[in-house]
Structure 1
Amino acid sequence: MIRFRRSAIGLLLALALPLPLAAGDSAFAAPSPRAAHGSPVVPAASLAIPAASLAVSAPSPTLAAETRGGPAAHSAPLELPRPTGPYAVGRDTLHLTDAQRRDPWVPSAGARELMATMYYPARPGTGGAPTSYMTTEEAQLLLKGSELADVLPAEQLAGTRTHARTGARAVGGHHPLVVLSPGFALHRATLSLLSEELASRGYVVALLDHAYESLGTAFPGGRTLTCVACDTVKDAPKDDQLALMAKVATGRAADISFVIDTLTAAPHGPHGPARRYSSMIDPKRTGVAGHSIGGNSAATAMAADRRIRAGINMDGGFSAPVPPSGLNGRPFLMLGNLSGHAPDGKEGSWLPNWRRLDGWKRWLTVRDAGHFTFIDLPVLGAQLGIPDPTAPIPGKRAGEITRTYAGAFFDQQLRGIPQPVLDGPSAANPEVVFHTP
């Protein structure tokens, strides 16, 4: 039997790098291993980040001191669920540089850099082999940052089977664009399930990694950038941490606008490989979504960029608040866990920001969910036989709910297709609670 040393977190939550919140400032102490390239890797579990920046899901240190798993679970291949849409999925990777901005965390690095995994609706039977989930080095850094390098092989995580194919032929026509931003310290791959789902439904998806904001992201030239932003937040006085997380959100909002600029530029524009997407995208149908601070960034991007027609915040607090003037009547979905994000929940930023939303809006929470319910990690954890001890909802079901409601929202708001599932509670989704405070 394999013995997991990380008390109360188990494999799933440790992979997800839980952050201590207002529900309890204690955190699991962990060493700070150093990456082969870049800055020290700081486990997010050691950060003291205010509740407004993230949803409340810190595990209780009184839970069982160890989690057990068998060799079969340890060695089983991991696979994302198959997308439900009518299209195959193509995938490419772009390295983008915004020459107009310096990196906010490492100014000496020069211009702001991003990695974007592009997903798009494709013709079946075209393209190469299914794409990898992440690089082995990225997986190593993620596992080291959560003290799990001796528990789950990096090759197993990196080799998670996907359904997207590099170089697949795009389906003709102009498609809506959705930009996705991951949680703080998390790799963009943690939103792969939603990305593949949206692409299979006919969306072009730009899934972003923001430089120096994840535990490890591979960039061209053999570089692997680590989480300098994590260091900055961790080392700041507690009173300054909320402002720093707001800085993350506003910086990501600028990244999102730059990505929209780049992907919708004329085909003869200056952005090299990104130019092909201008012929795929309908720039008048652009949405944005994110998990945790990425969800706050979605709202912040909408406030700054009127080209964005709709947005989703998945379980993120509002470190950077919605402006008092609202979002110019544009639709916004808040989707979170019930204990943290109900109107009387532990995380208090949703209610005042809900009141500022001035267009179509929904406030949904999910029973038995946790902070990481809305990303890939519960799905992969379930395949290993390791549930999230703070979120009883089954991993497979968590993935279904996220795909159902995010997909329905964008279908209604960007395609104009009415979605009854957004009108109120349904027997098919009894876990989902509608709030109208």
Structure 2
Amino acid sequence: MQIILEGYRWQMIPAYFILLISMLLLCFGKVFFRGSLFKKIVVGLFLFLSLSLAWVLPYIFPVFTLPEPTGVYEVGAQDIYFKTDLDEIITEDPNDTRELMIKAWFPAAPEEESREPYLNQADRQGFALKYGLPITSFNYLDLIETHTFKDAQVAPGEFPVLIFSHGQYSNATGYSAIIEDIVSHGYIVLVINHTYESMGSLFPDGRIAYFNAEYDSQKLNQEMTDLAWTSSQDFLKATTKVEKRAVAERLVLNYYASEITQRWAIDVKVVVNELEVWNAKSFLSNHIDLNNIGVFGHSQGGAAIGQAMVNSIKIKAGFNIDGVQWGTVINDTLRQPFVLLSSDWPDNHPKINTQVYREDNIANFTSFLLQNSGHASFMDIPYIINISKLSESGSIDKSLASRITSETVVRFFNEHLKDQGTFDVDKLTAKYSELVVED
């Protein structure tokens, strides 16, 4: 029945096997349990192991349901291919220019369009390659139904645009749980896939650019490992703000992640600069509110959007989701409103951002902590992998984490891009006890 309703998926192989054995037992039961005590024990253990796997695998890798968007708009999506004039430094060909794939989510007016599949083949195959799994391991994600309509028309009107930057070596579009909800509240969200530093980029001609592990390993060498370790220890040992600031500055300016931050911030900036072109001639034509541009990002992407705000005066507000602020922000001034939403890191985790986001370099700043959360709580990973220890998502309920994240993002940008005055920190923290303000 499961195969008929859902189709084949590898997690169910032990269950298929148990069904086969059950049928054989009905017909030839006595044959299976003839022989010595040792044989009976072996057969029994084998059956017990198969039965256990038949329950465990579908539980760990479930066919999950994404949260229902809470806004008034339907959600649509289309892909944008953007060939920039930037040099591509990650590949060996000196003539390469940087190509970006951007997934545009937008308020939609769907008619008969089909739903967008959950993660494309580049995301799925890159996910499998990262963890050394067969390349078809995540094809069962065809069974996941999104709330996004593929190639639908954009809803009437102009909408503020938010540019999103993902975490390093992550699925660029693996944030559907929060992005679908944000879009449903009247935002265009452009998700930049940072080529060669995500799990995979699928280009219109069928090429897939996977994470470039060779380039990454060359950069993330022993010198970088030593810098991260010694700086973390020195930061924890430091007893004054001056000492902590000096250690933080040494780390955020010189660690390899700072180079990534600068590169991704340029990606963000060139996309911001291209918005006027897309608003004049693309499926987004006359739908982009060019006067209201915001940025948000997770992990490494959170650092990139902070750096991009320094580099572009067109950006009105930014929201960093659990990213260490690598790059030059520590010595620059952030004039736009800015929020940091952190996961619940252990006490021995150095809080570098306390030395980057300071009263003397950022005027309008709020720092939140999402209690009992993990670094992956803001992604779709807790839905894909249903054990928090494996997904690094803490003990917080995954749907609650998604709801708090998307609502906080929406209320913040409503305040600064729509002038709606909805970003009331006291009301937010009163509504969600898991969300607390940090000094």
User: Counterpart of 2:116?
Assistant: 131
Quick one: which amino acid aligns to residue 408 of structure 2? Y
- The structure, 1 or 2, with the larger RCO (C-alpha pairs under 8 Å, 6+ apart) is 1
2:195 is matched by which residue type in structure 1? A
Q: Deviations over 1:348-405 (max 9, x none)?
A: 32111120542321100111111111111123334x8987466111111111111111
Residue of structure 2 in register with 1:351 after alignment: 354
Q: What is the count of residue pairs matched by the alignment?
A: 358
Give the secondary structure class of the aligned counterpart of 2:266: helix
Amino acid at match of 2:422: Q
Using a 3 Å threshold, how does the CA distance of structure 1 residues 233 and 421 change in structure 2: closer, same or farther?
Answer: farther
1:226 aligned to which of 166, 191, 210 = 210
Matches within 5 A, 1:13-412: 70-73=56-59, 76-99=62-85, 101-106=86-91, 108=93, 110-123=96-109, 125-149=110-134, 153-157=137-141, 159-228=143-212, 229-235=215-221, 237-238=223-224, 242-265=254-277, 275-328=282-335, 330-339=336-345, 346-355=349-358, 356-382=360-386, 388=391, 391-412=394-415
Residues 1:221 and 1:289: Cα distance change in structure 2 (over 3 Å): same
What is the CA distance between 1:421 and its match in structure 2?
Answer: 4.2
Cα distance change on mapping 1:235 and 1:339 into 2, 3 Å: closer
Moved more, 85-94 or 216-225: 216-225
Once the two structures are TM-superposed, the CA of residue 204 in structure 1 deviates from its matched residue by 0.7
1:266-292 deviation per Cα after TM superposition (whole angstroms, max 9, x unaligned): 7556xxxxx332411111100001000
Aligned 8 A contact 1:83 1:196 in 2: yes
Which has the larger helix fraction?
Answer: 2
Q: Which runs of 4+ in 1 moved over 4 A?
A: 239-242, 266-269, 384-390
Q: Is this contact kept in 2: 1:136–1:158, CA < 8 A?
A: no
CA distance in 2, matches of 1:389, 1:247: 26
Secondary structure of 1:178's counterpart equals strand
Equivalents in 2 of 1:392, 1:149: separation in Å?
Answer: 29
- TM normalised by structure 2 equals 0.75
Deviation (angstroms), 1:128: 1.2
Deviation at 1:302, TM superposition (A): 0.2
Q: CA-to-partner distance for each residue in 1:298-331, whole Å, 9 max, x for gaps?
A: 1000000010000011111122141534112x10
Q: Find the residue that maps to 2:357 and give its secondary structure.
A: helix
Provide the C-alpha distance between the structure 1 equivalents of 2:315 and 2:423, rounded to a whole number of angstroms: 23
Change (3 A) 1:267 1:305: closer
- The 3-state SS of whatever aligns with 2:284 is helix
Distance 1:418 1:105, change over 3 A: same
Distance of 2:204 and 2:78 partners within structure 1:
14
Partners of 1:75 and 1:156 within 8 A in 2? no
Q: Looking at CA atoms only, which structure, 1 or 2, has the larger radius of gyration?
A: 2
Is the partner of 1:412 in helix, strand or coil? helix
**Letter matched to residue 88 of structure 2:** D
What are the ranges of 5 or more consecutive residues in structure 1 without an aligned counterpart?
A: 1-10, 12-66, 270-274
Contact preservation (8 Å) 2:62, 2:384: no
For structure 2, the 5+ residue unaligned runs are 1-10, 12-51, 229-253
TM-score by length of 1: 0.75
* Shift of residue 75, structure 1, vs aligned partner: 6.7
Output one character per residue of 1:172-204: Cα deviation in whole Å (capped at 9) or x when no partner: 121100000100001211222222112111111
Contact 2:172 2:199 in 1 (8 A): no
